[in-house]
Structure 1
Amino acid sequence: MRCYWDEQDTWFYFEVDAEGWVIRQVELEGAELTPVAAASLAEWQRACDAGRLDEYDWKFGITAELPVSEWEGHDPEELTSEEFEDVWVRARCRIASGQLTSRPVIST
């Protein structure tokens, strides 16, 4: 699914599990749709276990901390898994390539 937050001029893309928890999340900011986050819950948990959480958070961000059923005021648009995967791959490649020198902190 995806949602747009006009206050932050940001598109949020989410892959959720059967219980509504976000397992992957992409954030695209501004008119250029610059990727500012592309986080995976599984990767985040591995980074936490390895003591590398700060490094992961700085580079890829974090996923939403509440299940989608608890969100208020946002009307998500459904996406196919292929649509999400396309956005995910492009954002991860751009972030991983180091093309972005810093990632602003955006709360979800």
Structure 2
Amino acid sequence: MGYWFRSYWAEEDTWFCFEVDADGWVTRQVELQGPHGKPVAAASLAEWEAAEAAGTLEAYEAVFGATAAVPVQEWEGHEPHDLAPEAFEALWLSARTALLAAARTRSKSGA
């Protein structure tokens, strides 16, 4: 059974929202930056691993970012706040939509 939480890092003015498995590994991660909560990442560990295996990791990370590379038990200096699974899912869907739209815009403009 997994769990969901969020944590704010003031240095980056970013909320990090996590879905974590029973072993403490981040399975999905959303990052919202600035006062308006601009999505800057919405990565899935399963997708990241599949992209790595397929040789498309750079393209995946350019659109969605990456998940944390160590289990949450090894983190220091963060204050976790509970997050309802439904709230995480809403953030996930919203961030993914925004990141995909931004990637399409970049590809059309050649950026």
Same fold per TM (> 0.5)? yes
Q: Which stretches in structure 1 are left out of the alignment for 5+ residues? A: 103-108
State the TM-score, normalized to the length of structure 2: 0.87
1:10 to 14, 19, 36: 14
Q: Are 2:69 and 1:65 equivalent residues in the alignment?
A: yes
2:49 to 28, 38, 45: 45
SS at match of 1:28: strand
Change (3 A) 1:91 1:71: same
Q: Which stretches in structure 2 are left out of the alignment for 5+ residues? A: 107-111
Q: CA RMSD in A?
A: 1.5
% of aligned pairs identical? 56
Name the larger-Rg structure.
Answer: 2
Change (3 A) 1:99 1:56: closer
Change (3 A) 1:99 1:60: closer
**Alignment correspondent of 1:81:** 85
1:96 to 100, 103, 106: 100
SS at match of 2:12: coil
**Alignment correspondent of 1:24:** 28
Q: How many residue pairs get matched?
A: 102
Structure 1 or 2: larger helix share? 2
